[in-house]
Amino acid sequence: MWFSRRRLLSVRHSFHKLQTTRFNSSLTSDLFFPTTGRWPWNERRKRQEHTQKFDLRALEHVIIKAAGSTAGITVRFEKLAEGASNKVFLAVVGERRLIVKIPDPVDPRCLVTASEVATLEFLRSELEVPVPKVFSWSDNSDNPVGCEYIIMEEAQGRALNTVWSHLEIPEKLAIVDEVLSIQRRLVATKPMFSVYGSLYFLDDAAKLGFSRHFSVISTSTPTYCIGPLAHQHFIEPALTASGVNCGPYLHFGNLFVSPEGKITCIVNWQGTDILPLFLAVRMPQFIDVERDALLLELPENFSAMPEAKRLELWERYRQSMLQQYYLADLRKSAPDLAAVLEDEELSPIRKQVEVFARIPFRQDVEALLLRETLLRIQRHLSGFLRDGNDAEQCPIKIEGDELTKHQKDGRRYNEFQDLLKARNIPVAEEGWVPSDEFTERKDNLKSVIEETVESLESEQERLEFNDRLRHWNLTDWETT
């Protein structure tokens, strides 16, 4: 079983500085609402899901106490980011700088908050992983602030995305080595975990109402337990099986480094779960290169190419070398992890299962994607089985008319997705777009839908498409 970090802040709008305000500012209501983007569909529901009001004065008192300051001192409050499931603020109290995280009402907030705090403490105390220290938190909205919150220290150093392009290869290799060292510590926790689920403090199990939980096997005093996965679609009791924690998805914004290139802090551990290996493992984003984009040798005519092309290929070559360096180490230190990352047949299935695990089931789309995943399993089952039994033993049977219809639906789905991407229209379920791009994206979406309707072969197909379209709840559809 492995520690796996699911989404926290979407890369698309992580840590945009939004506003700076004191608590008595007339603009403080913007702290409650999403202000950086809009949604081309289901906007009313999406705004409700990402709106969380709280008592600013009460939060000020909590922040001042967490900072160890005296009452009456001024607190400067700044919204840093609007993520997929929370908002992140910077609170400046005198010389102290604290991070305040408030979850949106889209997840089981009590579980999300309690699990993140327990995970951070486990990483700090048990594994000595550089993560933020938590000063104050509440996993219950029945408090003076009026919502759940976490107050923690600000990450020291600079985000890796601000320095990566300026680092030399030896410095980048040193960072990769540190990541590997941390991952080895995470992998070593496997004997501690006997079930899948999320990590919590043992003392919180009764308060959170767990029907069952499982203690973490540790050499220290029993402090932690594994309970339900802290996600709105997975709040059933934990499942008995052995798994591990592979840590967060390491994109540029999650890693902070010192001027000397040492990792000083890893942030955004919300949604870190204990899962089966094939769901937990991810290539660190900052060295990730798609398989068909790998460049392990420079072209013979490299020196004769235009400068822009040389720079592009050189950067891809260096990233490819870093990825291969990372995988070579994993093959020795954690061969199971390397095997999952390098399995070409498993990769598309793993990615699709992750999608099913994160978003509500939508009959018009996910049924198609689920069927495609089942088809992949049907085709490649023998490769997944240790004894290599023939795929004829597979209990899944998609064939005949069902297979023909699936292939036809798949072609149309792919064509529609290609149109959306060509027009720069978001295709994720959330559908978030920056506010200043909303009108253009909406107009592009209209054009794509009109083209799609015109391309359909029969009136019946057009009626079916328009019927599905009504379920999208398109935003401001009748206005320009």
Question: Does a structural domain hold residue 320?
Answer: yes
- Asked, for residue 479, whether it belongs to a domain, the answer is no
Split into its structural domains, the chain has a count of 3
- CA dist., res. 264 & res. 130, Å (int): 6
DSSP 238: P
The whole-number average pLDDT for the span 172-191 is 92
Q: What's the confidence (pLDDT) of residue 338?
A: 92
pLDDT beyond 60 at 461: yes
Contact between 52 and 145 (Cβ < 8 Å): no
Domain end residue (candidates: 325, 341, 357): 341
Quick one: 311 exposed, middle or buried, by C-beta within 10 A (0-12, 13-18, 19+)? exposed
Query: Model's pTM, two decimal places?
Result: 0.81
Give 205-214 pLDDT, tens digit per residue: 989 988 888 8
3-state helix, strand, coil in the chain (%, to 5): 45, 15, 40
Please give the pLDDT value at position 3.
52
Closest CA to 41 of 444, 355, 469: 469
User: Would you say residue 475 lies in a domain?
Assistant: no
233 and 363 assigned to the same domain: no
Beta-sheet strands, E only, within 83-219: 86-93, 96-103, 134-138, 149-153, 158-159, 195-201, 214-215
Q: Which of 12-26, 62-76, 146-160 has the lowest mean pLDDT?
A: 12-26
Domain interval for residue 77:
13-155
Q: What is the pLDDT of residue 250?
A: 66
Q: Are residues 27 and 138 in the same domain?
A: yes
Strand arrangement of the beta sheet that strand 158-159 belongs to = 158-159, 255-257, 263-266
Report the pLDDT averaged over residues 126-134: 95
One domain, residues 288 and 150: no
Class of residue 465 by CB neighbours under 10 A (exposed 0-12, middle 13-18, buried 19+) = middle
Burial class of residue 480 (count of CB atoms within 10 Å of its CB; 0-12, 13-18, 19+): exposed
User: Is the pLDDT at 215 greater than 90, yes or no?
Assistant: no
How do 224-227 and 134-138 pair as beta strands? unpaired
Two structure tokens written together for 176: 């990769």
Domain end point (choices 91, 126, 155): 155
Asked whether residue 135 falls in the same domain as residue 49, the answer is yes
pLDDT score of 143? 96
440 plus 367 within the same structural domain: yes
Domain contains 232: yes
Q: What are phi and psi of 301, to 5 degrees?
A: -95, 25
46-102 tens-digit pLDDT: 899 999 999 999 999 999 999 988 767 888 999 998 887 889 999 999 989 999 999
Interval 328-345 mean pLDDT: 90
* pLDDT, tens digit, 9 for 90 and up, residues 248-270: 556 778 899 998 889 999 999 98
Band of the pLDDT at 384, cuts 50, 70, 90? low
pLDDT confidence band for 133 (50 / 70 / 90):
very high
Query: Residue 6 falls within a domain, yes or no?
Result: no
Domain boundary among 136, 155, 174: 155
Q: Hunting for tokens 């495609």 — which residue is that?
A: 372
pLDDT at 428: 56
Based on the fold, state whether residues 325 and 353 are members of the same structural domain.
Answer: no
Question: Do residue 253 and residue 350 come from a single domain?
Answer: no
Whether pLDDT at 245 is above 70:
no
> Are residues 350 and 403 part of one domain?
yes
Is 3 domain-assigned?
no
- Quickly tell me which residue has 């934990």 as its tokens: 238
Under a CB-based contact definition with an 8 Å cutoff, are residues 164 and 259 in contact? Answer: no
Q: 4 in a domain, yes or no? A: no
Beta bridge partners of 148: none
* Cα–Cα distance for residue pair 334/33, rounded to 1 Å: 44
Residue 32 sits in the same domain as residue 135? yes
Q: Are residues 247 and 319 in the same domain?
A: yes
Structural domain contains residue 146: yes
CA distances from 183 to 249, 292, 321, 356 (A): 11, 26, 19, 26
Closest of 235, 219, 22 to residue 111, by C-alpha = 235
Which pLDDT score is estimated for 246?
55
Q: Give mean pLDDT, residues 7-34.
A: 50
pLDDT of residue 369: 77
Per-residue CA distances from 112 to 104, 140, 355, 390 (Å): 10, 11, 19, 42
- 263-266 vs 255-257, strand pairing mode: antiparallel
Same domain membership, residue 299 and residue 252 = yes
* Domain shared by 88 and 143, yes or no: yes
